[in-house]
Structure 1
Amino acid sequence: MTTARSWWRRGGDGLRADAQEAKDAAAHAFYELDSAQRDLRISVETLAAVDDSPDAQRAAAEFAALGQAVDTASADYIAAVDACDLDRDDLSPAAASRARGELLAARDELVRVKGALDRFAQSSAPLLERAETQLARLLPAVERARQALLAATRALDDVRAAGFRADDLAARLARLGPELSRLNEGAGTHGVRATLQRADDVLRSAEALRSEAERLPERAREIDRRLRSLATRAEALATRAGQVGPVLSELRRRFSAACWQDLQPLPARAAEALRQAEDRLAEARRAHDAQAWADATSRTSTARALLNEVDEAVSAVQERLRLLDDVARDRQPEIDRTRFALRDAQRLAMTGRSTPDPRHARPLDDAVARLERAIDGLNGRHPDYWHFLTETAAVRDTAERVVRLIREERGGQPGH
């Protein structure tokens, strides 16, 4: 026969079992929450090391607040576990029931906080993934920088073995030494973002240095070729410059002063530019011999510019005589060429119109009158042929400007 005592024990054991089940569920929830927090903490710490943007700072603050919620829920769970020993023989039904309720409440809170962590992880996933991607780039980036620096060192050793001092390259390589030391100190000291940036900077600098070292022998040969070429050109221009005086004398003898007076300063200017060019070439040769490549290149460029100035001055005098000879011999080709340009512009201005647009017709009419005045100006004892040539050139410029304007205006219209 079943006694009242046995009924009570059977009910107590059921309550104990229910409490134990609640304890197990709470323990599982606590483990899940702890695991989620630890995994997220690693990601958030990575984010803090890599990203200092406002979004990253907000994510760190949110995770810190969630951490407080985790701590509170965990403390409540531990307190609920410690509050009742479910293995006690004299565990009363009331204590078992109370323990079950407290453990279920602790489990529910652990699950709720775990849900908040999951939502945080989901909303922060893009930020965290970018941070992890940057972290994954770190070791390869540092290794590439080291290898580039090693390649630059070898390239510099090779050109020095070939007889080049390459002092400037050696100085630049020496300046990269401290940067390599900082790379070796790692992201723990300098941060992931700063270390990645430093690795990229070292990589670019080292690759540029290696490339310059490898090109150095060819650069030296190229500077030598330029020096020889410019020296030859300077000799040729010296010969041509010597002809400027006779050409200018012929201009003075055969044409009015207005045709050549603007050329008067050119012989002296050409002679001075030639002298300066020869000085720069001598300096460039000394810099080449001293392996001061940047100085040699700079002085070579200056010498080239000065020789261009000489060439322009000499050519201006010779070209002036040629142009004046041509127009003095026969002015008609210049007149015909200019009238053709005007007629072409006038035809275009009338295309598709019964009357031309005043914006086109007025400058063309003025240009026609200007040409006629220039032609009439040749009817004298000492015609100013140079004025005539500058006027015809100006008339053609006007015609070209009107043509360009018309075409731009009609560019978007069908049939044009």
Structure 2
Amino acid sequence: MTTARSWWRRGDSNLRAEAQAAKDAAGQAFYELDTAQRELEISIETISAVDDSAEARRALAGFRALGERIDQVSGAYIAAVDAHDLDRDELDHTAAGRARSELTRAKEELDKARTELERFQSGLGPLLGKAETQLARLAPARESAKQSLLAATDALDAVRAAGLRADDLAARLAALAPELTKLNEGASKHGVTETVRRADDVRRRAEAVRAEAERLPERARELDKRLVSLRTRVQALATRAEGVSPVLSELRRRFSVECWQDLQQVPEQAAQAVRHAEEELAEARRARAEQRWADATAKLAAVRSLMDEVDGAVGAAGDRLRRLNEVSKDPKAEVEKTRFAIRDAQRLAMQGRATPEPRHARPLDEAVARLDRALAALEGRHPDYWAFLTETAAVRETATRVVSNIREDRAAGR
């Protein structure tokens, strides 16, 4: 009787050991599944932090569905472990066998779930790679932005130490403070993509402030030079403007009214422009003294524009007198210059042809007639030399236009 009882106990012990082995194997499978799930969760969190595409959203939905499946098999495993106390002495043959069977089945389901999880993980490769690349940019982008802000602050401090206020640059730098606050709040609140974009924007704006601050002393020196240069130019042009009246007097004395009537207002216009330029220059000096750099620059540009206007008007009067003097002494020189332009166009029109194209020949024939009429108009008592010069210039322009048309036609194979 004792021998029989020992035999059954040895059988129970073997089943207990097998059940324990099944429990240990299921526990290992549970651990491996849990570890893989944690790794997958990190991958999903990485993707979700960066990517809001439809593909990323599908991956998140797939992960949630897979999580439900893992919860089911994990729950079955835990229930099987809780249902069987393999350490109790009264564990019988049937209970041990049932425990071994249920724990083995739990392990198989855990293994299947891990296989599904690993397959899902491998499919995330492209999304995860893209997300990790963006995350890798995050820290350097934030650090670069902060370094750029620091450099801009240092440059602004140096400018102020040199006695330059740079209020506009200080305002632009102060405007970046809210952006810096959001950068410090991090990607967890604002997302990786938005944080990287904000960091790049802050860096660019801070670098622009730094560059302008570093250039400000040189800009101030350039502005001072331009103030001196333009003041000298205004004074010189004021003197030249005073010389327009004598030029007009000579034009009135020697030439017909048609030759100078359009210049009548030049002295007054030039004087007004000079006075306006002097006012703008004074405004520019005040803006420079108050370190309103943009205003000072704009005023100097206005002065330069006015000076160009005066220069052109004053120069036009002198140039008119010179040209009228030349043509009154020798109209033939102007005529020959114009005839040469016409003949040059005629030669080109005849090149390689027995007769020229009518659309080329017609304007050239008209140009010859116009020149003859212009020359004949000089035979009166008070010739309009300015009309003559205007007409010869127009005739030469016609010849030039015909030459251009011929070359375009031949280049196009017409």
In which range does the TM-score fall when normalised by the shorter chain?
0.7 to 0.9
Change (3 A) 1:180 1:104: closer
Residue 381 of structure 1 is matched in structure 2 by 381
Partner Cα separation in structure 1 for residue 398 and residue 286 of structure 2: 51
Q: What is the count of residue pairs matched by the alignment?
A: 402
Residues 236-256 of structure 1, C-alpha deviations (whole Å, 9 max, x = no match) = 111110111111111112111
Partner Cα separation in structure 1 for residue 70 and residue 401 of structure 2: 83
Residue 215 of structure 2 is matched in structure 1 by 215
After TM superposition, the structure 1 = structure 2 runs for residues 29-68 of structure 1, keeping only pairs within 5 Å, are 34-52=34-52, 54-55=53-54, 58-68=55-65
Partner Cα separation in structure 1 for residue 38 and residue 408 of structure 2: 69
Residue 300 of structure 2 is matched in structure 1 by 300
Asked whether the 8 Å contact 1:186–1:195 carries over to 2, the reply is yes
After TM superposition, the structure 1 = structure 2 runs for residues 17-416 of structure 1, keeping only pairs within 5 Å, are 24=25, 34-52=34-52, 54-55=53-54, 58-76=55-73, 78-79=75-76, 82-83=79-80, 90=93, 91=95, 100=104, 103-104=107-108, 107-108=111-112, 110-119=114-123, 121-122=124-125, 125=126, 127-411=127-411
Partner Cα separation in structure 1 for residue 67 and residue 259 of structure 2: 97
> Residue 71 of structure 1 aligns to which amino acid in structure 2?
E
TM-score, length-scaled by structure 2: 0.84
Residues 12-53 of structure 1, C-alpha deviations (whole Å, 9 max, x = no match) = 979x969967994x777766655554334334433333344x
Asked whether the 8 Å contact 1:32–1:114 carries over to 2, the reply is no
Gaps of 5+ in 1: none
Partner Cα separation in structure 1 for residue 44 and residue 134 of structure 2: 13
Change (3 A) 1:185 1:325: same
Asked whether the 8 Å contact 2:76–2:106 carries over to 1, the reply is no
Change (3 A) 1:188 1:73: closer
Partner Cα separation in structure 2 for residue 395 and residue 19 of structure 1: 115
Asked whether the 8 Å contact 1:44–1:60 carries over to 2, the reply is no
Asked whether the 8 Å contact 1:141–1:196 carries over to 2, the reply is yes
Asked whether the 8 Å contact 1:19–1:99 carries over to 2, the reply is no
Identity of aligned residues (%): 56
Asked whether the 8 Å contact 2:350–2:356 carries over to 1, the reply is yes
> Residue 358 of structure 1 aligns to which amino acid in structure 2?
P
Partner Cα separation in structure 1 for residue 357 and residue 31 of structure 2: 88
Asked whether the 8 Å contact 2:73–2:110 carries over to 1, the reply is yes
The 10-residue stretch of structure 1 (384-393 or 43-52) with the greater mean CA deviation from structure 2: 43-52
> Residue 147 of structure 2 aligns to which amino acid in structure 1?
Q
CA apart distance, 1:197: 2.2
Partner Cα separation in structure 1 for residue 21 and residue 366 of structure 2: 110
Partner Cα separation in structure 2 for residue 179 and residue 40 of structure 1: 33
Partner Cα separation in structure 1 for residue 292 and residue 256 of structure 2: 52
TM-score, length-scaled by structure 1: 0.84
Change (3 A) 1:266 1:361: same
> Residue 162 of structure 1 aligns to which amino acid in structure 2?
A
> Residue 62 of structure 1 aligns to which amino acid in structure 2?
A
CA apart distance, 1:406: 2.9
Change (3 A) 1:388 1:342: same
Asked whether the 8 Å contact 2:29–2:107 carries over to 1, the reply is no
Asked whether the 8 Å contact 1:145–1:200 carries over to 2, the reply is yes
Residues 101-160 of structure 1, C-alpha deviations (whole Å, 9 max, x = no match) = 6754563454245324422x14xx1x4333322221222222222222222222222222
Partner Cα separation in structure 1 for residue 361 and residue 23 of structure 2: 100
Partner Cα separation in structure 1 for residue 24 and residue 365 of structure 2: 106
CA apart distance, 1:289: 1.8
CA apart distance, 1:364: 2.7
Change (3 A) 1:27 1:410: farther
Change (3 A) 1:195 1:377: same
> What RMSD, in angstroms, separates the aligned Cα atoms of the two structures?
3.4
Partner of 1:378, secondary structure, is helix
Partner Cα separation in structure 1 for residue 140 and residue 406 of structure 2: 60
Partner Cα separation in structure 2 for residue 324 and residue 108 of structure 1: 105
Partner Cα separation in structure 2 for residue 105 and residue 321 of structure 1: 108
Residues 150-179 of structure 1, C-alpha deviations (whole Å, 9 max, x = no match) = 222222222222222222222223222333
Change (3 A) 1:369 1:22: farther
> Residue 352 of structure 1 aligns to which amino acid in structure 2?
G
> Residue 381 of structure 2 aligns to which amino acid in structure 1?
R
Residues 298-332 of structure 1, C-alpha deviations (whole Å, 9 max, x = no match) = 11111111111111110011111111111111122
Partner Cα separation in structure 1 for residue 92 and residue 369 of structure 2: 127
